[in-house]
Chain A
Amino acid sequence: MDLSYTNEQNLIRDSVQRFARDSYPFDARRRLGETSEGFSRGTWKTFAELGWLGVALPEAYGGSGGSAVDVMILMEAFGRALVVEPYFTAAVLGGTALLLGGSEAQKRSLLPRLAAGELLPTLAFAEPQSRFDLGDVQTTARQDGAGFVIDGAKSVVFHAVSADIVIVPARTSGERRDEHGISLFLVEGDAAGLTRRDYPTVDGHRASELKFENVRVGGDALLGARDAALPLIETVVDHGTSAVCAEAVGIMAALYEATLEHLKTREQFGQPIGRFQVLQHRMVDIFAMCEQARSMALMAALTVGGPDPTARRKAVSAAKNYIGRAGRFVSQQAVQLHGAMGMTDELIIGHYFKRLTMIDTLFGNADHHLERFGRL
């Protein structure tokens, strides 16, 4: 057993931490919220140049042959900086789906472009009625000659406004919640019959409602096996979940540090408020949760890419459940201990709070993963 980073991983960590500290000021992030895409294409290009977009892709497809641990290192720093670039959408969900589901031809044509920052995919994993059930798919894909015709709706598709390719689960057979009968399709972002309603999310990202009306795709748009995509979707989403767990760990660590600093410097009743025992113990609880959350994110990252699907599911759901609960406690207490200052839009605290709230929802909240863990 060895839980220390390799030299390469230490290099990535240094470079991403430097980036987060020096090149991603909160004010600039705030201004990105005013733009239509909600993120900076220049920053995206930097991510590509630094090798981050392809960090977990094999070298044969333009990547650097890393693992989910490398993704974890990046996501943790992205969490601390509240990065709004679509890394988990495009690189993690898109990259994993293409890598694990793609034919050799699809991989050769798409993955190098993704790694180079020239192709931005997203995964439409939710429908208006589906909540967190990945197998609840009403969108249909009907065979039409060599191709397919897609009809239906997808909800809260992250960064669809910027997506060149939307990866769409659609039903090629079976009933609404059947596990069998779901297939994945690569749909061009500007395909005829695909309409979007774009909006910002409460945590400063971008998402869209998508409507598919007679959207025609070729036979080569099928990603992975027909009718049998659910296990692939689940694996991809587990990778996404592991990544956002790491993002949450970065946020919680930043909240922990800011709150600790506040307790040491804010004076009331003639002394730093950190001298009050009730706040000391609260701070220790925050510290303990941050440490355990970090441990859980590491466990998930080390397991998610492994060969055993049950082990993968258990590790990811355990991590997501713990981090959902810890994230709620840490964000609420960070605001509470900052007092009214913590309520302001000016401080970063509230923005961390909002992102942690949405990370809990993303890919299923703490309750969802508690139940999933219990079923395994």
Chain B
Amino acid sequence: MDLTFNRDEQAFRGEVRRFVAERLPADVKHKVENGLRLEKDDYLRWQKALYEKGWAAPGWPVEHGGPGWTPVQGYIFEQECALGDAPAVMPFGLNMVGPVIIEFGSEAQKARFLPRILSSEDWWCQGYSEPGAGSDLASLKMSAVRAGDHYAVNGAKTWTTLAQYADMIFCLVRTSASGKKQEGISFLLIDMKSPGVTVRPIVTFDGGQEINEVFFEDVEVPAENLVGEEGKGWTYAKFLLGHERVGIAQVARSKRQVERLKKIAAAEFKDGRPLADDPNFRAKISTVEIDLLALEHMELRILSDETAGQAPGPESSLLKIRGTEIQQEITELLVEAVGYYAAPYQPAFLRDGANDEPVGPGYAPALAPTYFNWRKASIYGGSNEIQKNIIAKAVLGL
């Protein structure tokens, strides 16, 4: 056993670190570092830089444009991007629908969609949840009725992240109402520009606008956009969920946030001394750091199994649960750290480009909105309650 990376892996880490330092646009880095809101173009500029380097899709096979990395290299890459304050990769194309098309798509679909995902020409979004189907995803109702060479699609998807930017949406749709509800679900790729598709923004209580409702009214979708077989959508969705959980722990990003928390605690005062010297607050920071170490080493063990050829099992749900709990804990501590200066609401300072100085310290304006916004993390991607159900059933056999 060896907890350290070997010489090649260390060299690779240096290469990624240099690349991030050289190619990540400074303004994007600044936004990520300070928890400010990212625009579509911010994501795209970084994604294009990765694409030019051949690093856009770490998890893809080489024949489709993947870099051919080992799982450890993929892990190092993720880690270095996060430590260097690169924006998180928007997962919908590269990590979600991409792997599904590679595994289950037709040759025509691969040829048509994969290059455009790789180059970020198409922005994808995920059409899963519906107003009546959240945790009970399989009860979804959006219907797709086959009519000759196309499907007629009707219904609504909701909580669709960044649908306002999207060119394409992959949807779970109901193609049959009979039999087991999971067996009537199919996986359909829909052009967001199709007539009959409308996007309605949903504002979240932090004041942000990243989620949407998407309505489909008699939308004609070419039958060639069906992935795999009709009625097998649930199987593909489960395959995709396995992919979604990889990387969801976000250890390196949380580490950066802990560093930021420490910096802020050193700059803030409590009883006339730096807050960072306060034993109680220091204990809170240390506790979250220790929790983070436990998560990191759990992730490394899963990575080691993966290197040995073992696919990540349902226990990777633990990564989602603990990863999001720790992220949320850090956002709470950041709010605590700034005391009253969490109170001013200064949306202009959540984007870059405000000319004025903010009220209070420059690091404060994004902290409360980030705490509010991050409550989503224990809800999305299968709520943490659902993740516990998965573990109880699939791991513990209860």
Contact = CB atoms under 8 A, between A and B. Distances in A.
A199 B346 contact: yes
A273 B203 CA distance: 25
A268 B385 contact: no
A171 interface: no
Interface string B301-337: 0000000000000000000000000000000100110
Interface string A184-222: 000000000000010111110001010000000000000
Interface stretch (B29-37, B226-234, B376-384): B376-384
Contacts of A371: 280
A340 B340 contact: no
Contacts of A132: 270, 339
Given A155-B340, A156-B344, A340-B376, A357 B371 contact: yes
Given A343-B204, A345-B203, A200 B139 contact: no
Given A133-B271, A336-B383, A353 B205 contact: yes
26 contacts: A132-B270, A136-B271, A156-B340, A176-B272, A200-B345, A201-B343, A209-B359, A268-B136, A268-B139, A273-B135, A336-B379, A336-B384, A340-B159, A340-B380, A342-B375, A343-B205, A344-B202, A345-B202, A346-B202, A349-B205, A353-B372, A354-B205, A357-B335, A361-B340, A367-B336, A370-B280
Nearest to A279: B385
Contacts of A354: 205, 368, 372
Interface in A162-187: 176-177
Interface in A60-75: none
Measured as residues with beta carbon below 8 angstroms from the partner, the interface class of chain A is: 35 or more
A136 B343 contact: no
B344 A344 contact: no
Interface stretch (A123-131, A229-237, A293-301): A123-131
Contact of B375 (A136, A200, A269, A336): A336
B378 to A, nearest CB: 6
A15 to B, nearest CB: 30
Interface string A349-364: 1110110011001000
A139 to B, nearest CB: 16
Given A136-B271, A335-B379, 18 more contacts: A126-B340, A128-B360, A131-B270, A131-B339, A176-B272, A199-B344, A202-B368, A203-B343, A332-B375, A336-B375, A336-B379, A336-B383, A340-B129, A342-B375, A343-B379, A345-B202, A358-B343, A361-B342
A83 to B, nearest CB: 17
A contact patch SS: mixed
B204 A177 contact: no
B35 to A, nearest CB: 14
Interface string B124-143: 00000100011110010000
B378 A199 contact: no
B215 interface: no
A351 B343 contact: no
A350 B372 contact: yes
A207 B343 contact: yes
B277 to A, nearest CB: 13
Interface of A: 126, 128-133, 136, 155-156, 176-177, 197, 199-203, 207, 209, 268-270, 273, 278-279, 328, 332, 335-336, 339-340, 342-347, 349-351, 353-354, 357-358, 361, 365, 367, 370-371
Measured as residues with beta carbon below 8 angstroms from the partner, the interface class of chain B is: 35 or more
B369 interface: yes
Interface in B264-278: 268-272, 275
Contacts of A344: 202-205
B281 interface: yes
A89 to B, nearest CB: 13
A86 to B, nearest CB: 15
A268 B134 contact: yes
Contact of A361 (B203, B269, B343, B378): B343
A278 B391 CA distance: 14
Given A332-B375, A361-B340, A345 B272 contact: no
A41 B159 CA distance: 38
A228 B379 CA distance: 52
A202 B339 contact: no
Interface in B349-398: 359-360, 368-369, 371-372, 375-376, 378-380, 383-385, 388
B158 interface: yes
